[in-house]
Amino acid sequence: MNIDQENFEVEVIYALPTQQKRIQIKVAPGTTCIEAVKQSEITTFFPEIDLENVKLGIFSRLVKHHEVLVTGQRVEIYRPLIADPKDVRRKRAEKAKDEGRINKKTGAKV
C-alpha cells in the first residue's frame, strides 16, 4: 500500500487583523490537532504562537489539542482576546448614557 493513499490533507490557519496564513499539509491517520499545527511549522511565520497554551478549533468549534483529525478538516489557531466583550459593551453603554444618546431609565435610544 502506498503511503500517499493513507495520508490525507488538512489545513492549518492563523489570522491577524492585517494578515492570514493558510498552510495545507498531509498527515497520517491518527494525527492530533496540535501535531498538525507543529507539522505545519506555522510558528516560523508567527513566533508569538505559544503551542502549549494556544486554543485550537475546527471550523469555529473549540477543540482539545489531542482531538484526532479526519480528512478535509481545517485547524484554526485562535488568538487570545485583548478585551472582554462584556466589559467593552458595558463601557460603550455607559458612554452613551453620559452623552445623552440613550434614555437613562429605559436604555432606549432618545
Domains of the chain: residue spans and CATH:
8-87 (3.10.20.30)
Grid cell locating 15: 489570522
* pLDDT for the residue numbered 1: 47
* pLDDT for the residue numbered 2: 53
Instruction: Look at residue 5 and tell me whether its pLDDT is greater than 70.
Output: no
pTM for this prediction: 0.71
The residue among 56, 88, 86, 87 whose CA lies nearest residue 74 is 56
Mean pLDDT of all residues in 39-61: 93
Give the integer Cα–Cα distance in Å for 89 and 95: 10
Give the integer Cα–Cα distance in Å for 39 and 16: 20
